[in-house]
Amino acid sequence: MSGALGGDHPPVFWHKVGWGEGSRATLIPKVRATGEQRGARRKAKGPRSHANGAGLALYAPRRPYTSLMAADLREVAHAERAGGRDYDALAMRVEGADLHGGALRIIGEQPGGHRTYPMYMASLPARSGKAPKASVLLNGGTHGDEPAGAEAVVAFLEADIAGQWPEFAFTVMPCTNPWGHAHARREGPAGRDLNRAFRRASPRTPEVSIIKRALAGRAFNLYVDCHEDIDAPGLYVFAPTRLGNAIVSAVAATGPIHQGDLVDGEIPLNGGVVATDSDRSRERRTGWLTWPLPYYIARYRQAHDGPTLSDEGDPRALSGATIETPTFLPMHQRVAMHHAAIDAALRLLREQPPRDGRSEEHTSELQSH
């Protein structure tokens, strides 16, 4: 578990080792890295080393990948070890995915040095032949040094996972920070964290304005935002308690869960879930001036009718999950963990009754400078 040892000791995170069949998990402490150390680690080439990392066993994905997808993920892992990722190759995979009647469009171009990077959005209508029971937003690649999120969302399109949920309509943004993905950088080209810039538009974050314009007129019953954590010993999730517990239970068969008490030394964690329906989380949302994407969705793009996964009475409470996978695991395993989390969220959404209500349009925040 993570947290302080007490007194003057620095915050400690705990790594689970000896994870293999017939063996018991052992927790060993690891002093939390400083910001400078974290930055240096992100820039370092090759996978991050782990104490006793050789004892970590791989988990089989719940659904077997096709040989083509497996080959793609092996190439991604090789590129990651080589210290870079090819966004153009990722874009070709997005453009080559069979959307089965869906539409793919470039919503804008992210400026980045000597070139621009196309930003994609796929709109997948419900295949039931009826009005969709719910609308779902999937997003990946907001932080460029967290590649498994983008890989999971692209693989979602390639494997036509949406076809397993014909009653839902999907909006899919595979990679919302292409420059960061190509350069293995958390921030955008202007050095700003895009996931802290959704409250107000800024000339330094044109990507955020592009996303807001693309989402205008849409409302979602569920969002799933795919991220990673370089320091985490297992998966954890920001979500309402009920949704978070469902995700953790599903992912536990695919990979380790963060069993600590804190995230980043201050955010309470319980069984792998940062409960967004807690009093502390609500207070944090109220006072936070630098919104991440989920806060923007909850405030301006959340459906007020149809099913919801929020455990709060507030119609603008978060109805979705931010998934954080541990980057020390192989790429294919992290992608499988994201897919297991998405699957669990969609299963729970399918079980929910509809609500009576009406979606509200809020356009003032969509204006960019």
Spell out the domain ranges in the chain. Answer: 61-366
DSSP E strands in the chain: the ranges are 3-4, 11-17, 26-31, 103-112, 115-124, 134-140, 168-173, 222-229, 236-239, 262-263, 267-268, 273-275, 320-326
Are the CB atoms for 138 and 342 separated by under 8 Å? yes
pTM recorded for the entire structure:
0.76
pLDDT higher for 65 or 156?
A: 156
DSSP 3-state assignment of 32?
Answer: coil
Where residue 5 falls among pLDDT bands split at 50, 70, 90? very low
Task: Please give the mean pLDDT across all residues of the chain.
Answer: 79
What DSSP element (H or E) covers 178?
A: helix 178-183
Contacts of 155 (CB under 8 A, 6+ apart): 65, 69, 72, 73, 335, 339
pLDDT higher for 264 or 142?
A: 142
> Which residue type does 257 have?
I
Give the least confident one: 43-52, 74-83, 299-308, 353-362: 43-52
Fold designation for 61-366? Aminopeptidase (3.40.630)
Q: Quote the CA–CA distance of 299 and 293 in Å, as a whole number.
A: 10
pLDDT higher for 165 or 29?
A: 165
Average pLDDT over residues 108-128: 95
Where residue 174 falls among pLDDT bands split at 50, 70, 90? very high
Average pLDDT over residues 205-219: 96
pLDDT surpassing 90 at residue 249: yes
> Looking at the chain, how many residues does it have?
369
At residue 195, the pLDDT reads 94
Give the least confident one: 15-29, 231-245, 339-353: 15-29
pLDDT surpassing 90 at residue 53: no
Phi, psi of 77 (to 5 degrees): -60, -40
DSSP 115-169: EEEEEEEEEE--SSSS--SEEEEEEE-SSTT-HHHHHHHHHHHHTTGGGG-TTEE
At residue 117, the pLDDT reads 97
Give, in degrees to the nearest 5, the angle at Cα 41 between 226 and 56.
65
- Nearest Cα neighbor of 171 from 219, 123, 132 is 123
pLDDT surpassing 80 at residue 251: yes
Q: Quote the CA–CA distance of 209 and 213 in Å, as a whole number.
A: 6
Q: Quote the CA–CA distance of 199 and 201 in Å, as a whole number.
A: 7
Where residue 355 falls among pLDDT bands split at 50, 70, 90? confident
At residue 332, the pLDDT reads 96
The percent of residues above 90 in pLDDT, for the chain, comes to: 59
pLDDT higher for 83 or 15?
A: 83
Where residue 286 falls among pLDDT bands split at 50, 70, 90? low
Average pLDDT over residues 272-287: 77
pLDDT surpassing 60 at residue 39: no
At residue 73, the pLDDT reads 54
The percent of residues above 70 in pLDDT, for the chain, comes to: 69
pLDDT surpassing 50 at residue 243: yes
pLDDT surpassing 60 at residue 365: no
Q: CB neighbours (10 Å) of residue 298?
A: 22
At residue 290, the pLDDT reads 79
Give the least confident one: 47-51, 146-150, 271-275: 47-51
At residue 208, the pLDDT reads 96
- Nearest Cα neighbor of 225 from 298, 293, 179 is 293
Kindly report, residue by residue over 308-334, the tens digit of the pLDDT.
888 665 655 789 999 999 999 999 999
51 to 16, 54, 55, 263, 264: CA distances (angstroms): 9, 8, 9, 20, 20
